[in-house]
Amino acid sequence: MTESPLLNIPSSNQSENQSNSTICPDLEHWWDIVYYIVPKYLNTVCVFGMLGNVLVLFIYSLHKGPLKIAEIYLMNLAVADLVFLVCLPFWAENIANEFNWPFGTFLCSSISASITLNMYTSIYLLVAVSVDRYLTFVHTLNHREIWSKTMTKRICLLIWFFCILLSIPAFMFRTVKDFPQWNITACTMDFPTPWWETAENLVLNVVGFLLPSTAITFLNFSTIRSLRKTARERKALGAKGCKWHKGTKATRLIFTVVLMFLFCWTPHHFFVFLDMLYRREVIKGCFWEEFINFGEQFSFMLATTNSCINPVIYVFVGKYFRQKALQVFSQFIPCGFPLRWASFKEMSSNFKVFPVKSSLT
């Protein structure tokens, strides 16, 4: 059976949870597909994700203007994603090596903790961004008068500290362990008791996903309702169509943010929950064992995609980020290029997807 709620190794017919009277079918050819596809996918995500998140930090760092509140959260999100993406090639090599860990105990523990840290940090930074957007769109009160950038930075530090605490078990209990029945030395979780493992899975599901995703969903859909209500009121009063159109575009972006986040992470937490049920013998049998084994591999692969697309769905579609990017890159453009650069800037303004007052962009 799998050995970790986040980074996992497959089971075999000698699984401890499997009855001695039942032999599961040999699915070695299916695992060959996993060993071939997953490492290539993780390395691809790493390359594109590194480029995107480095560009985000590059633009925000070199732009001369002050950062907005949401941009402070987005910079921290980019840092968290970069920490995660740096670890992916190690785990890709581990899978390509059929889960035979070649990098030693320290990297086993630290990479596991770093990936777990990203999972927690990312979702709670998204909660913070959702709160900021909720206060911006739903409340007429200008919360920035009382919610200063200094407070925002302190909130980011608090999120990092809280998530580091949640990642400590991954560092403490992750170790390199021999599995003679599989003829491998794997990077795996070695909990002192089965109840530690159950508790870790529950924390992962509840604290790491259920509670923050509920908050994200509530905040974003409250924002959507507010935008739609405002759009209807402006339309009824005969307000200009462009204002209603901006609100509609903002609604679409917020819905995309929520949908893509849930799409990437829900399957992973679903299989973590099934794994916990299997270990407690609530569900049994070869079907569930293999279903969970393969499901955890591909759901983790899907979850990694979120770090790759975050720069796209949170930043690159934002008008203000495009303006910052144009201003930063214009510093490196030769003197004979201004007219073509200006035409590109004019063209980009025709593809605005977020209203002027948006705190996300």
- Nearest one of 308, 328, 318 to 355, comparing CA atoms: 318
Q: 49-53, 125-129, 244-248, 313-317: lowest mean pLDDT where?
A: 244-248
For residue 160, what are the domain limits?
28-330+340-351
Token pair in block for residue 268: 């992973």
- In this predicted structure, the answer to whether residue 201 has a pLDDT above a threshold of 80 is yes
Contact 123, 167 (CB under 8 A): no
Q: Is residue 263 part of a domain?
A: yes
| More confidently predicted of 128 and 361 | 128
Q: Is residue 225 part of a domain?
A: yes
Number of domains observed in the structure of the chain: 1
Question: What burial letters (b/e) apply to 64-87, b meaning 16+ CB within 10 Å?
Answer: eeebbbbbbbbbbbbbbbbbbbeb
Token pair in block for residue 275: 């794994």
- In this predicted structure, the answer to whether residue 31 has a pLDDT above a threshold of 80 is yes
pTM: 0.81
Question: In the predicted model, what is the mean pLDDT of residues 319-330?
Answer: 75
Q: Is residue 62 part of a domain?
A: yes
pLDDT per residue over 57-81, tens digit each?
988 888 877 887 878 888 999 999 9
- In this predicted structure, the answer to whether residue 348 has a pLDDT above a threshold of 60 is no
Q: What is the pLDDT of residue 249?
A: 56
Q: What is the pLDDT of residue 13?
A: 38
Contact 74, 81 (CB under 8 A): no
Q: 183-187, 225-229, 250-254, 322-326: lowest mean pLDDT where?
A: 250-254
The strand pairing partners of 179, in sequence order, are 184
Q: What is the pLDDT of residue 159?
A: 97
Tell me the C-alpha distance between 32 and 217, whole Å.
Answer: 38
Place of tokens 């079907």: 287
- In this predicted structure, the answer to whether residue 322 has a pLDDT above a threshold of 80 is no
Q: Is residue 5 part of a domain?
A: no
- In this predicted structure, the answer to whether residue 332 has a pLDDT above a threshold of 50 is yes
pLDDT per residue over 244-287, tens digit each?
455 455 556 667 777 888 899 899 999 999 998 998 889 988 88
- The string of DSSP codes covering 139-194 is -SS-GGGTS-HHHHHHHHHHHHHHHHHHHHHHHHHEEEEEETTTTEEEEEE--SSH
Q: Is residue 23 part of a domain?
A: no
Q: What is the pLDDT of residue 286?
A: 87
- Residue 149 CA, distance from chain mean position: 24
Q: Is residue 359 part of a domain?
A: no
Q: 7-16, 237-246, 275-284, 317-326: lowest mean pLDDT where?
A: 7-16
Question: In the predicted model, what is the mean pLDDT of residues 128-145?
Answer: 72
Question: In the predicted model, what is the mean pLDDT of residues 327-351?
Answer: 54
Q: What is the pLDDT of residue 69?
A: 80
Q: What is the pLDDT of residue 235?
A: 73
> Helix %, strand %, coil % for the chain, to 5?
75, 5, 25
CATH number of the domain bearing residue 276:
1.20.1070.10
Of 26-40, 221-235, 347-361, which one has max mean pLDDT? 26-40
| More confidently predicted of 42 and 324 | 42
Q: Is residue 22 part of a domain?
A: no
First-to-last alpha carbon distance for the chain, in angstroms, is: 44
- In this predicted structure, the answer to whether residue 161 has a pLDDT above a threshold of 70 is yes
Torsion 240-244-245-250 (CA) sign: positive
Question: In the predicted model, what is the mean pLDDT of residues 95-124?
Answer: 93
Per-residue H/E/C for 196-258:
HHHHHHHHHHHHHHHHHHHHHHHHHHHHHHHHHHHHHHHHHCCCCHHHHHHHHHHHHHHHHHH
Contact 1, 281 (CB under 8 A): no
Mean pLDDT of the chain: 79
Q: Is residue 277 part of a domain?
A: yes
Q: 69-78, 134-143, 304-313: lowest mean pLDDT where?
A: 134-143
